[in-house]
Chains A and B, each alone.
Chain A
């Protein structure tokens, strides 16, 4: 047996197709493991389908690397957090703590918005105040915003914690107070008078990140900006748990975002283990059922065989997708239901082929020998017949895997997927529903489909590589 395995492996490994398939499979498996280690299992409900989590991201923006191919460069989306103050000192009875990040504007574009998020502000005596300060590359400084943290409510004991459940979001663009500051800034620094109510027309970002050109229009001021949040506290122990600066851009991450601002790279990554799970579970159980029924029916014959044949004939004659749609629609889009339905429709094909193979094997001398020494029917099926058809069954299992992945993707695309688990099919569905095809959002349409094809091709290649092992007649053609 082991020499047979060795020989088969050598035959399998000899083909370039099989090598490619194995490399692809390893890639898929490694990425899946990485994803499972780095993503929580409830990622779908907790993050992916939670629009709040993605609120700060730019909507429907291209991936960062498009800048490598375009003449006109797009502004990268910027988001950075800091937990530790860069400096802290006592001044005029206040403890000042500076939370800084530096932001570099490298392209000829204004950011689309600027937002600051504060989390877990802790204070012990009086409510502190928080100032947002921007220091520009030309040395000019703007004190854009002041926030007084909410005072203790009667009966509350220190330490007082604020913004722990929901971060405090300071949206600078559109804020009337910020408009006033900017109006004064323009009057002071550039001797331009713009009424606070007109700042909106000029653009908050244009004033913060630009300078007035000769033609009266604002030009982006490239260089390094120092964005800081300063905490004015009465107690030295007061602190801000986390400060996040978000400067809106037009390109985001490795894979861009969708119209909800979701990072497509994350959704695509999460699709790997899901695809593997669907593919493996479905193909394994389908093959298990199909092969056992085929072996039992073929060897036992008689009424059992008739029954199995009739049932598989009926199921095999059913149009799959309409019934898949019907069943998942009625029973709801749970992942296990989709898998169960796929199994229910997948097994008969294998029964028919395995049964015909068994009928041949059944009459061969070694089976007759086993019968004559009194081996039981089950023993003959398990020990003598199964090993004969095992390679074929294995190759069928691998060959069925892509069709399971593709069927799930198709159901997801029709809006019948499991909404709590992001899959490639669902990303495509959401893209199609939101007109990604008609708006030319290629980064939303291409990658999920390519990944479906990639994972499916992986199994097809391995199955092709197994073919000469299973069917020696084909050897001479390869």
Chain B
């Protein structure tokens, strides 16, 4: 199987997942009447805007009402509000894909727009930035410590890592975030309570970066503490399994230096499954990011999610569910590509 074909199949199956989610959500919001509410909200927004616009042109209130009523009727049929939900399902799916879901109820974007698409697109980079930082730190950490531990199974460090990973699996990330704020922001006062920049943010680019890094410390620490345990543990188990293979024994028998055996023979083989677990762990990152952003008021889409729930903003929640699924699917695809590059066996299977 060629490289292109493998990736196409992967891509198509992920695309299929995305569409499953879309249809599932559309059916649910259709059957529960939520889609009616979302469309009605869009309708009343448009009608209001139209009335304001027309009020300057038409002075006769009778005629104005007539024009507005006409416009409303046209909009109802164009939005599909006069048809049952299952008939307008395709258009609803299209609406979600293009994030054309009207205005957010209370949240406003940094530039002042309250269109859902604007708000989400503006916040997305912040979330991606946080997640990528954590991903990189965690990957390096787990590779460094996991391999080290695997070479000495049963040692003190090994036992500690096992215990740590068990405890961190049971640790709610968002609670850890609160504790870190309590300790480092409230009591010791060396880190900020939350946010991405100080108010007002520094104008000088250098200080701006430093300010960002300062605000990044606690969220990243939280996510690394919460997630690195299981990663190190997984890395360790994979490396140990590989270390028991015959070709490793053979390499040692040849008298190769231990370092060479470790990095050329063991880690090289162990890397792809480690990467697989990185892919699988992504769901947890996303989960962790939503809640961690909330606690640290990091202005990403996780915090936006929380705000949407708090203000019972159905359209925004729908849009965010889609966006999160999209990010997840894209990230998985990128990692699949990486996987194929790292492990040639996948290509030629």
Binding site for B on A (CB under 8 A): 313-314, 317-323, 325-327, 329-331, 402, 406, 409-410, 413-416, 428, 432, 437-438, 440, 442, 445-446, 448-449, 452-453, 456-457, 459-461, 464, 477-478
Contacts and interface: CB of A to CB of B under 8 A. Distances in A.
5 contacts: A314-B16, A322-B290, A326-B25, A329-B314, A477-B154
A82 B9 CA distance: 76
A314 B17 contact: yes
A54 B329 CA distance: 48
A-B residue pairs, 9 tightest by C-beta: A456-B170, A449-B175, A322-B324, A319-B328, A321-B287, A326-B321, A317-B17, A457-B170, A460-B166
B80 to A, nearest CB: 20
Contacts of A319: 283, 286-287, 324-325, 328
B174 A413 contact: yes
B295 A432 contact: yes
Contact of B28 (A313, A321, A327, A478): A327
Interface string B164-199: 001101111011101101100011000001000000
A452 B176 CA distance: 11
B172 A449 contact: yes
Given A326-B25, A456-B170, A461-B166, A318 B17 contact: yes
A25 B99 CA distance: 47
Contacts, number: 136
Interface string B316-346: 0110110011001100100000000000000
A438 B186 contact: yes
B247 to A, nearest CB: 18
Contacts of A402: 169-170
Contacts of A413: 172, 174, 291, 294
Contacts of B171: 453, 456
B309 A329 contact: yes
Q: Which of A327, A331, A414, A457 has the most CB of B within 10 A?
A: A414
Interface string B214-230: 00000000000000000
B157 to A, nearest CB: 14
Nearest to B282: A319
B21 interface: yes
A406 B309 contact: no
B29 interface: yes
A440 B179 contact: no
B128 interface: no
B325 A318 contact: yes
A464 B159 CA distance: 12
B20 interface: yes
A317 B287 CA distance: 14
Interface in B248-298: 283, 286-287, 290-291, 294-295
B65 interface: no
B265 to A, nearest CB: 20
Contacts of B310: 415
A320 B170 contact: no
Contact of B166 (A313, A409, A428, A457): A457
A457 B181 contact: no
Given A414-B291, A414-B309, A457-B167, 6 more contacts: A317-B14, A326-B25, A437-B295, A438-B181, A477-B153, A477-B240
A428 B309 contact: no
Contacts of A409: 172, 175
Contacts of A428: 174-175, 178
A318 B34 CA distance: 22
Nearest to A464: B166
A212 B174 CA distance: 50
B294 A414 contact: yes
A95 B181 CA distance: 61
B170 A330 contact: no
A456 B165 CA distance: 13
Contacts of A453: 167, 170-172, 175
A477 B318 CA distance: 48
Contact of A322 (B32, B162, B167, B325): B325
A454 to B, nearest CB: 8
B139 interface: no
Nearest to A439: B186
Interface in B294-312: 294-295, 305-306, 309-310
Contact of A437 (B25, B186, B291): B186
Contacts of A325: 290, 305, 309, 317, 321
Q: Which of B294, B305, B321, B328 has the most CB of A within 10 A?
A: B321
Contacts of A478: 154
A325 B320 CA distance: 10
A442 B295 CA distance: 15
B231 to A, nearest CB: 16
Contacts of B29: 330
B25 A449 contact: no
A446 B283 CA distance: 27
B172 A321 contact: no
Interface string B15-54: 0110011000100110010100000000000000000000
A437 B283 contact: no
A313 B34 contact: no
A360 B321 CA distance: 39
A313 B291 contact: no
B13 interface: yes
A440 B179 CA distance: 10
Contacts of B17: 314, 317-318
Contacts of A410: 172, 174, 287, 291
A313 B167 contact: no
Given A414-B294, A415-B309, A432-B295, A322 B178 contact: no
Given A313-B13, A432-B178, A477-B240, A318 B21 contact: yes
Given A320-B287, A457-B166, A460-B170, A449 B179 contact: yes
Contact of B186 (A321, A432, A440, A477): A440
A318 B17 CA distance: 7
B32 to A, nearest CB: 6
A240 B195 CA distance: 57
A456 B226 CA distance: 14
A445 B183 CA distance: 12
A289 B165 CA distance: 28
A452 B291 CA distance: 16
Contacts of A329: 309, 314, 317
A393 B36 CA distance: 44
A318 B306 CA distance: 20
Contacts of B186: 437-438, 440
Contacts of B169: 402, 456, 460
A440 B186 CA distance: 7
A448 B181 CA distance: 16
B286 A322 contact: yes
B181 A437 contact: yes
B65 to A, nearest CB: 36
A457 B167 CA distance: 6
